[in-house]
Amino acid sequence: MRLGRQVPRIVEQLHTVFPAKRVKTTPQVLATWGGDWTRSFPIAPSAVVFPETIQEVAALTKLANEAGLQLVPSGGRTGLSGGAVASHGEVVVSFERMNRILGFDAADRVVRCQAGVVTQALQAYAAEQGLCYPVDFASSGTSQIGGNVATNAGGIKVIRYGLTRDWIAGLTVVTGAGDVLELNRGLVKNATGYDLRHLFIGAEGTLGFVVEADVRLTEAPPPSRVMVLGLDRFADILKVLAAFQSRLTLSAFEFFSELALGKVLAHRQLTRPFEKPAAFYALLEFDAAAEEAALAAFEDVLAAGWVGDGVASRSDAQAASLWALREGITESIAAETPYKNDLAVRVSAVPAFLDDVDQLVAEHYPDWQVCWFGHIGDGNLHLNILKPAGLSVDAFYRRCHGISPNLFEAVRKRGGSISAEHGVGLLKRDFLSYTRSGAEIDIMRAVKKVLDPNGVMNPGKLLAD
């Protein structure tokens, strides 16, 4: 595509919807807004636009249909699957100017916000109302609500609070045809046929763009405590989970490997949670009122030989320090260009699945470092293959991508998902059949054809052209 010759025409068309100051084509803007946290795809948008109203998004979408333009949504750009990458002259639609909280209904505990509201800003607003928005993850200071909805974001407290889907009471969307739909309108009960709201949650912007969301809030959480445990055998981790869940309610149950801990300790200059290293670590969060029950559960798992040592926080500062051991992993390995796999199986299948994957890793990456961590409480494992120093990025990604079918076959064998919370995007688009049946994919294509008849919305993502 000889994009350079087409850009002036595209910009002229965009100026029929937006003032000149909200249409950007400088190389720096294109490079910044044209991609996400993935680094393995070219970035080549034609322009970036910054809508401020639903009407502008709808007008842009109708223009795209008439003029043959294609649109890629851009939120906080924290995605890890290439879902917000514009590689073929698409127009990037940034929602950062649609960043207002529009209203709050105290009786319903529902807040209406625009798609560009940053997750952490919504959490802060909820706290001001004496309430809580409990969906939380490491990128909450950057990610936006529209992107959270588009990927059905999960995070660190899914075991207790669920995913983004569980907190969306209603959506306003602009479909690929340019229609504005108000879906569910914040209702608790609505038995009037198909709930189209849920089609757009997790659709990665391929059916239309989320422009506003009605988000449910809940009670502010009570004070919490954090415990980190050391285990020599991963096979014991579900026994530990069951032992604690039989005595108390957990808000989080995370795990990470000794390699992952070592990376964090070196990067952030933190100290070990206890003196003797372990092969694996489990991090638990629970209400402070359940501290006695948690200590009793710890005595049980220690006596059973499943855990070798442990430490518990006595203050919020100590809890934050323990969480830093887990939340600092992604940042600490970023310089090593990790090839990320975000996998999920049923919780009961986690140990057997990890054995499957360990065998594959030993076979295909015998000399590479593989960093494990994840949300064991909901069956989500993050497998991060770290690039060897002497290997080019392109060669590294090609090799990892080529071996992915072996890994995803292990996922299919266990009835799991090739993407638990990062989405499919470009990175895993060609592997969708490992999780979805042919009939399901055909239905997904048919739904897209109805809502986005000319394929203008986030083309090439999730479903192959």
Pairing of strands 47-49, 71-74: unpaired
CA distance 207 to 288: 43
CA distance 214 to 200: 14
CATH 3.30.70.1230, domain 224-330, yes or no: no
Q: What is the pLDDT of residue 440?
A: 97
Provide the phi-psi class of 277: left if phi over 0, else alpha when psi is between -120 and 50, else beta: beta
* 12, 23 Cβ separation under 8 angstroms: no
CATH architecture of the domain with residue range 101-219:
2-Layer Sandwich (3.30)
Q: Which fold has domain 3-96?
A: 3.30.43
Please name the residue that has the structure tokens 């026994």.
239
The 10s digit of each residue's pLDDT in 115-147 is 999 999 999 999 999 999 999 987 899 999 999
- The string of DSSP letters for 397-434 reads HHHHHHHHHHHHHHHHHTT-BS-SSS--TTTSGGGGGG
Q: What is the pLDDT of residue 397?
A: 86
Q: What is the pLDDT of residue 422?
A: 87
Q: What is the pLDDT of residue 4?
A: 59
CA distance 25 to 20: 11
The tokens describing 30, both together, are 């294109």
CATH architecture of the domain with residue range 337-439:
2-Layer Sandwich (3.30)
* 25, 10 Cβ separation under 8 angstroms: no
CA distance 77 to 66: 28
* 232, 308 Cβ separation under 8 angstroms: yes
So where are the chain's domains?
A: 3-96, 101-219, 224-330, 337-439
CA distance 376 to 399: 28
Low-confidence residues of the chain, pLDDT below 70? 1-5
The 10s digit of each residue's pLDDT in 362-388 is 888 888 999 999 998 899 999 999 999
pTM greater than the 0.85 cutoff: yes
Q: What is the pLDDT of residue 38?
A: 82
Which residue blocks in 165-253 are alpha helix, DSSP H? 197-200, 237-245
* 189, 230 Cβ separation under 8 angstroms: no
User: Is there a common fold for 224-330 and 337-439?
Assistant: yes
Q: What is the pLDDT of residue 3?
A: 58
3-state secondary structure of 16: coil
Helix (H) / strand (E) element for 14: namely helix 3-14
